[in-house]
Amino acid sequence: MIVVGTRPEIVKMAPIIRALDEESQSYVLVNCGQHYDYNMSQQFIEELELPTPDYGFKVRAYSPGLQTSRILTLIERVVKKVKPRVVLVEGDTNGVLASALAAVKLNVQVGHVEAGLRSFDLRMPEEHNRRLVDHMSTYLFAPTKNAQRNLERENVWGKICVTGNTVIDAVIQHIPVAEKKSNILDMVRFEKFALVTAHRCENVDDPDVLKNFVEAFTETPIPIVYPIHPRTKKRLSQQKMWKKLSLAENVQILQPLGYLDFLVLMKNCELIITDSGGIQEEATAPPIRKPVLVIRLSTERPEAVEAGFAEVVGVDKHNILVAMEQAIKRKNRLPKNSPFGTGTAAKEIVKIIIEEAL
């Protein structure tokens, strides 16, 4: 059983679904519904030409505790009904934690794709989730040796397998499709631009951090293209900052984009400014190779920093602007290979599941 619920989970599980199909292995696909908005979830499933989920739910934006308990209840019903040999989850969302808990309580093995990531920042709800899931999992598919070392230090009980990250598989598989299907560049009014995303609660729920972002984005040395997350737009409106950002001449706000459109923007931008974890990985894929400024205080993807792709610049306006200037100057010095693998992670994961769990 494969459980997804957010855009990054769908993207990163897509290569595993295809690898299972290639091996003629049966599976049940479940959308736990953490992102109930069409643009944030179902659109990606359709865009990537994945099968319609066998079970799909819409979980409204409750408090984190209520959301987690609601998903746990729904997934438990499905696990009882289909009796899977293993439940595969990916990442660190509330849906991942809830699905893993539902499986473990019913004595079903859990496989955690992208195990072992650590930011060591307990302000982040994702850090709680990923740690708990790792300690519940029978199979821990670590993307890198660094992730493996994190798991070994914590003495996890499950089997650790270093596989690479399926996000690299996904980029390599989908870039040719994206370039054929997407016309997003026709909508962008700048020839050269930086691509921005910001959505994490420790950032956008903090009015001071949000103010820093707005001031930095409106004063950048290069125009900004900003596909805005619904959560961020809501917070900007609440804090009376939406007008300043949306009317800025050097900022183009876009609605939430599909995955294929976003890939094309990543490939064609000058640099990426983000608080997303997955984008830090995607930017290192050979078809993209873009510098990333991480607007957070920490990252659970130190491999991207060590390889020279990413820089953690914090949330201060001045630091963001200085880092942008520097990144634009040195963009051509990036490595040719990604620290997150060569694009074979999904096949490796499926091989292990077939040999060990089925």
Instruction: For residues 19 and 163, give the distance between their C-alpha atoms in angstroms, rounded to a whole number.
Output: 14
Instruction: For residues 51 and 204, give the distance between their C-alpha atoms in angstroms, rounded to a whole number.
Output: 34
Catalytic residue (one of 35, 199, 229, 318):
199
- What are phi and psi for residue 108, nearest 5 degrees? -105, 135
- SS3 label, residue 227: strand
Report how far Cα 294 is from the mean position of its chain's Cα atoms: 14
Put residue 128 in one of left, alpha, beta given phi > 0 → left and psi -120 to 50 → alpha.
alpha
Is position 199 annotated as part of the catalytic site?
Answer: yes
Is the dihedral angle over the CA atoms 302, 305, 310, 314 positive or is it negative? positive
DSSP secondary structure of 310-343: EEE--S-HHHHHHHHHHHHHTGGG--SS-TT-SS
What residues are annotated to the active site?
A: 199
